[in-house]
Chain A
Amino acid sequence: MATAEKVFSAPRQPILRSNAAQKLLAFAALIVIFAVFSFLSPFFATPENIVGILLATAVNGVLALGVTFVIVTAGIDLSVGTVMTLSAVMTGLTVSLAGWPVPLGILIGVLTGSVAGLINGLIISRMRVPPFIATLGMMMVARGLALVLSTLETGTIKPIYFNDVPVFRQLMMGSILSPLLAPVAPDFNLPNAVLILFVAALVAAFVLAKTVLGRYTVAIGSNEEATRLSGVGVAGWKTAVYALGGTFSGLAGVMIASRLNSAQPALGVGYELDAIAAVVIGGTSLSGGQGTILGTIIGAFIISTLTNGLRIMNVPQEWQFVVTGLIVILAVYLDILRRRRM
């Protein structure tokens, strides 16, 4: 048996040691950014501002959750921003104009996202259109549809307000946790939006790590052909991944409508890039096969903390774009450095 032991034992190569490092790095970066802004401005580390940061992260964070799945399969979804808007408009139409019950309107908004994602998935996996092109097309289609639907009421493009249904705004801005938090932190008015983000993140993390869908997401991104040869129906699972991504966009649509108390049909373009940036900063590889939900959430917080901090420092918005862009490039460059070492 001695020979067999020698031959078949696995040499442990510390190849993946630095995977955790990137996540740690991102987290450390978040802490540093936070510390720096706290030092520079007395208005930064206040309860109100922290709530503001959390609130600002919610929508982008939920979008980024869906994008994480897509990117782990080595795909891309450019349509998440405008699909979010379309979902918001659908909720607006059903709840505010048609007067349907709020839960039903929310469901329709979320499902609108699922359907858009499903169509993305079918175009990509059945018609074999590259994800970049398919979702670019969907991005424009959803944008157009959102604008068209917003004209139904008055014949011109205009936002749909939820003023008749005040309960809808409570979805995001209300705080079911406040009574619980009151004894320890009375000033800390944690809006539901943050709760929704964390619940969605937990669900996403569970799906990615513990379910069949998550397993195939990683497998497809790692080696699509090998996955197919293992007897996995790759086309179907890929479709499911895009549908899941769309579902998160739908949820984000409902959230942004609630937060703005209106469905803004012209909104949405550019959101997909923030979401992709969050995913990438969080250490998910664009070449597929690896990525974590925790990383994505950290990435989303890095972006919103930076934006918030720079605004508090009175840095003009134009420069905020520049900084975010440089951070994205830096994050991907670190990822490439890490790969080269392997």
Chain B
Amino acid sequence: MGDLLLKMAGIEKSFPGVHALSQAQFELRAGEVHALVGENGAGKSTLMKILSGIYSKDAGSVRYQGKEVEISSPRAAQHLGISMIHQELNLMNHLTLAQNVFVGREPRQPLRFMLDEAKINAQTQALFDSMHLRLDPRTLAAELTVAKQQMVEIAKALSFNSQVLIMDEPTAALTESEIDELFRIIRQLRSKGVGIVYISHRLEELKQISDRITVMRDGHYVDTVDAKAVTIDQIIGMMVGRAIYESSPEVPEQPEQAVVLAVRGLNRGTAIRDVSFVLKKGEILGFAGLMGAGRTEVARAIFGADPIDSGEIFVKGIRTAIQSPRDAVRHGIGYLSEDRKRYGLAVGLSVEANIALASFEQFVGSLGVVDDSKVRSIASRYVDLLSIKTPGIQQLVRNLSGGNQQKVVIGKWLTADTEILIFDEPTRGIDVGAKSEIYRLLNELAHAGKSILMISSELPEILRMSHRIVVMCEGRITGELSAAEATQEKIMRLATQRSGMVAATENSFAAKAEVR
């Protein structure tokens, strides 16, 4: 490890309703891989977004290469040699790979305003070659799979000759061999003296790749330790800090329960391929998989939000044609989107209006007038029942925290008298304390006989909450595990089990295409 490259100290950051970082600190040496870990909402990404100029800090200092710096924009960060590879893919689908790599700093010829397409293609090709990436720089980004797009993002960050490279969950969507390739590149960079910040939830990777590990919790710095001298259990201990989850599902398996939802042979293009499963009464069925595995697509298809090519859906044993969300709600199915603000809530409306939103017909009197007092009484009941923390039912949903917003969505579907609840990433963007409350609520709902389909990308969450786990990969169900037999490793194996034949055909086709 080389000299101290970067030191962040006393960093403070607040968002409306959340104190995201409090006295956070972090340091990085040249030629080290420094892992940054913590649960969702611990503040890792926020801290790194401050470093890469996306957020501005409220207080604190950043020293870089011995000097105090103010990083005011992503461009300023790039000029300093700090790049970040984001968790969400950030490629422009309508541009080619080379255009994506060089966007913002195109070499120009011969006049200042003209682009030199040949040059960026050649440079990108050289970059891909150095990474052993078999891609044509002239391919459009839209044509690549998620994993390949991620590799292009890494190539893009490398092309900056960055001194500091921040990787936010780079392996979340990669297969084993792709991860090996990534690690090879990371080691290559480390040997060149680049400082790498590595954010990951996959603790087993950290032992492999990182030199030091910094742990964060609830926006605070916990400790920095030598990766070689620490065990995974110790890291988990520092991350969790307090007993926050129930250790296992509280509801015992009840295999004799009736099937409330059965899906058979669901298909839509390449997104959903021959998906069949059943959901029983009072059960929490976990849907695991990597990003883009098709879980949300299945949920939306069942809910009637997207059309399907073929397949049958049975609700309580009766074959049901669900062609719109309205049909789904009528059959007692509620969908809680992963993107609450876009699809789940009318954030500009009050708590009571949101709770009544999916079932307004209940509240309309004979003259077509909404019965306000009835709305109020139902809303108040759910605010109490779900312990939604709000100054009142007239409060605008926009002003509530993420966890309480999620509870409002739950209240909405309970009001609509749904029997089947599909939760898509129920705790995304929710702070650690509120998470355990959502978990408690899910358990209670299952106890009360509701059937829950829970999509989650967080393996600990899947393992803790589910009675059964269905794993998807590339639009197919690759396996089903009972709560007793499920482990992170088994789920990951299924989640990366690509269909061999399809992949082989595609690859040989691609290889031919690239020969020319």
A residues touching B (Cβ–Cβ < 8 Å)? 1, 3-13, 15-16, 210-216, 218-219, 221-223, 225-233, 289-290
Find chain A residues with CB under 8 A from B242 CB: none
A289:B94 contact, CB within 8 angstroms? yes
| B177 adjacent to A9 (CB under 8 Å) | no
Do B90 and A229 touch (CB < 8 A)? yes
In the complex, whether B139 has a CB less than 8 A from a CB of chain A is yes
CB pair B106 A231 closer than 8 Å? no
CB < 8 Å neighbour of A232 from B103, B156, B514: B103
Q: Chain A: which residue is nearest B151 at the CB level?
A: A8
Docked CA distance A50–B178 (Å): 60
> How distant is the Cα of A31 from the Cα of B400 in the complex, in angstroms?
58
Secondary structure class of chain B's binding surface, majority of residues: mixed
CB closest residue in chain B, given A209? B115
Closest Cβ of chain A to B7, distance in Å, is 24
Q: Given A4-B134, A16-B142, decide whether A218 and B74 contact each other with a Cβ distance below 8 A.
A: no
Across the interface, B510 reaches (CB within 8 A) one of A3, A9, A212, A232, namely A9
Given A11-B145, A12-B509, A231 and B105 touching (CB < 8 A)? yes
Which of A4, A10, A215 sits near B181, CB closer than 8 Å? Answer: A4
User: Which residue on B lies nearest to A206, using beta carbons?
Assistant: B114
- B93 near A7: Cβ-Cβ < 8 Å: no
B309 to chain A, nearest CB (A): 12
Given contacts A9-B511, A10-B136, A10-B139, contact A218 B148 (CB under 8 A): no
Cα A211 to Cα B509 in complex, Å, equals 34
Q: Is there a chain A Cβ closer than 8 Å to B369's Cβ?
A: no
Determine the chain A residues whose CB is within 8 A of the CB of B105 once the complex forms: 231
Task: Decide if A12 touches B143 in the complex (CB within 8 Å).
Answer: yes
Would you call B94 and A229 a contact (CB within 8 A)? no
Residues in A with CB closer than 8 Å to B514 are 9-10
Q: Which residues of A contact B503 (CB under 8 A)?
A: 6
Q: Is the CB of A221 within 8 A of B134?
A: no
Closest to A225 in B: B90
Could you list which residues of chain B lie within 8 angstroms of chain A, going by C-beta atoms? 54, 73-75, 77-78, 84, 86, 90-95, 99, 103-106, 108, 113-115, 117, 132-136, 139-140, 142-145, 148, 151, 156, 175, 177-178, 181, 503-504, 506-507, 509-511, 513-514
Main SS at interface, chain A: helix
B78–A211 touching, CB < 8 Å: no
The 8 Å CB contact of B74, one of A11, A216, A229, is A229
Q: Is B114 touching A289 in the complex (CB atoms < 8 A)? A: no
When distances are taken between beta carbons in the complex, the residues of chain B under 8 Å from A16 are: 140, 142-143
Q: Find out whether the CB atom of B74 lies under 8 angstroms from the CB atom of A222.
A: no
**5 A-B Cβ contacts within 8 A?**
A9-B510, A9-B511, A9-B514, A215-B95, A227-B103
Decide: A12 and B510 in contact? CB cutoff 8 A.
yes
Nearest A residue to B504 via CB reads A6
B488 nearest CB across to chain A (Å): 23
Contact call B90/A289, Cβ cutoff below 8 A: no
Given contacts A10-B510, A215-B99, contact A289 B92 (CB under 8 A): yes
Chain B residues whose CB sits within 8 angstroms of the CB of A213 once the complex forms: 113
- Docked Cα-Cα span, A121 to B113, in Å, equals 20
Q: How far is the CA of A308 from the CA of B509 in the complex (A)?
A: 49
A contact residues around B95 at 8 Å (CB): 215, 218-219, 222
- Bound together, the chains give a CA A215 to CA B114 distance in angstroms of 10
Contacts of A9 on B, CB cut-off 8 Å? Answer: 134-135, 507, 510-511, 514
Q: How far is the CA of A12 from the CA of B143 in the complex (A)?
A: 7
Residues of A within 8 A of B93 (CB): 222-223, 289
Instruction: Please tell me which one of the listed residues A6, A13, A229 contacts residue B143 in the complex, with CB atoms under 8 A apart.
Output: A13
Q: How far is the CA of A221 from the CA of B73 in the complex (A)?
A: 21
Q: A6–B511 Cα gap in the complex (Å)?
A: 9
CB contacts (< 8 Å) of A227 on chain B: these are: 92, 103-104
A15 touching B142 by the CB < 8 A rule?
Answer: yes
Q: How far is the CB of A328 from the nearest CB of chain B, in Å?
A: 23
A10 B74 Cβ-Cβ under 8 A:
no
Q: Which residues of B contact A1 (CB under 8 A)?
A: 132
State how many angstroms separate the Cβ of B502 from the closest Cβ of chain A: 9
A65 to B262, CA, bound (A): 53
Count A-B contacts at CB 8 Å.
127
Q: When chains A and B are docked, how far (Å) is the Cα of A225 from the Cα of B140?
A: 19
Residue from A3, A9, A10, A227 having most chain B Cβ neighbours under 10 A: A10
Q: Which residues of B contact A228 (CB under 8 A)?
A: 74
A225 to B504, CA, bound (A): 35
Query: Hey, which chain A residues are within 8 Å of B144, CB to CB?
Result: 10
Contact of A212 among B92, B115, B156, B178 (CB under 8 A): B115
Which chain B residue shows the least CB distance to A11? B506
Given A10-B514, A219-B94, A233-B75, 4 more pairs with CB closer than 8 A: A4-B132, A5-B134, A219-B92, A225-B90
B104-A230 in contact (CB<8A): yes
Q: How far is the CA of A197 from the CA of B141 in the complex (A)?
A: 33
Other-chain contact of B134, A10, A229, A232 (Cβ < 8 Å): A10
Whether the Cβ atoms of A221 and B106 lie closer than 8 Å is no
User: CA A1 – CA B184 in complex, angstroms?
Assistant: 13
Check A218/B143 contact, CB under 8 A, given A10-B136, A211-B113, A232-B103.
no
Nearest 8 CB-CB pairings of A with B: A11-B506, A226-B90, A231-B75, A222-B92, A289-B94, A222-B94, A231-B104, A9-B510
* Residues of chain A contacted by B143 (CB below 8 angstroms): 10-13, 15-16
- Chain A residue numbers with a CB within 8 Å of B140 are 15-16
Please state if A290 and B94 are interface contacts (CB–CB under 8 Å). yes
Q: Which of B92, B139, B148, B507 has the most CB of A within 10 A?
A: B92
A69-B482 Cα distance, complex, nearest whole Å: 55
A8 to B117, CA, bound (A): 23
CB distance from A286 to the nearest CB of B (A): 14
How far apart sit A40 and B182, CA to CA, in the bound complex (Å)?
Answer: 66
Q: Decide if A231 touches B78 in the complex (CB within 8 Å).
A: yes
Q: Which A-chain residue is minimally distant from B502 (CB atoms)?
A: A11
Closest residue of chain A to B128 (Cβ to Cβ) is: A8
The interface residues of chain B lying within 8 Å CB-to-CB of A10 are 134-136, 139, 143-145, 148, 510, 514
Whether A8 lies near B133 (C-beta < 8 A) is: yes
Which of these, B74, B181, B511, contacts A231 with CB under 8 Å?
Answer: B74
Report the Cα distance A211→B75, complex, angstroms: 20
Taking a contact as CB atoms closer than 8 A, the residue among A11, A13, A212, A219 that contacts B113 in the complex is A212
Please pick, from A11, A223, A232, A233, the residue contacting B91 in the complex, using a CB distance under 8 A: A223
Cα distance, A13 to B103, chains bound together (Å):
24
Q: Are B134 and A8 in contact (CB under 8 A)?
A: yes
A232 to B139 CA separation, bound complex (whole angstroms)? 22
Smallest beta-carbon distance A302→chain B, Å: 24
Shortest B132–chain A CB gap in Å is 5
Taking CB as reference atom, which chain A residue is nearest B79? A231
Complexed CA–CA distance, A233 and B177 (Å) = 37
Task: For B180, give the chain A residue with the smallest CB separation.
Answer: A3
Which residue from chain A places its CB closest to the CB of B513 in the assembled complex? A12
**Nearest Cβ distance between residue B225 and chain A, in whole angstroms?**
31
Inside 8 A of A218's CB, which chain B residues have their CB? Answer: 92, 94-95
Best-surrounded residue of B133, B148, B503, B510 (most CB of chain A within 10 A): B510
- Cβ-closest chain A residue relative to B117: A210
Q: Do B74 and A211 touch (CB < 8 A)?
A: no
* Chain B residues whose C-beta falls within 8 Å of the C-beta of A4 in the assembled complex: 132, 134, 177, 181
**Chain A residues whose C-beta falls within 8 Å of the C-beta of B511 in the assembled complex:** 5, 9
**Interchain CB contact (< 8 A) of B103 among A211, A219, A225:** A219
A5 to B139 alpha-carbon distance, docked (Å) = 17
Closest chain A residue, CB of each to CB of B181 = A4
Chain A residues closer than 8 Å to B509, beta-carbon distance: 11-12
**How many Å from the CB of A34 to the closest CB on chain B?**
31
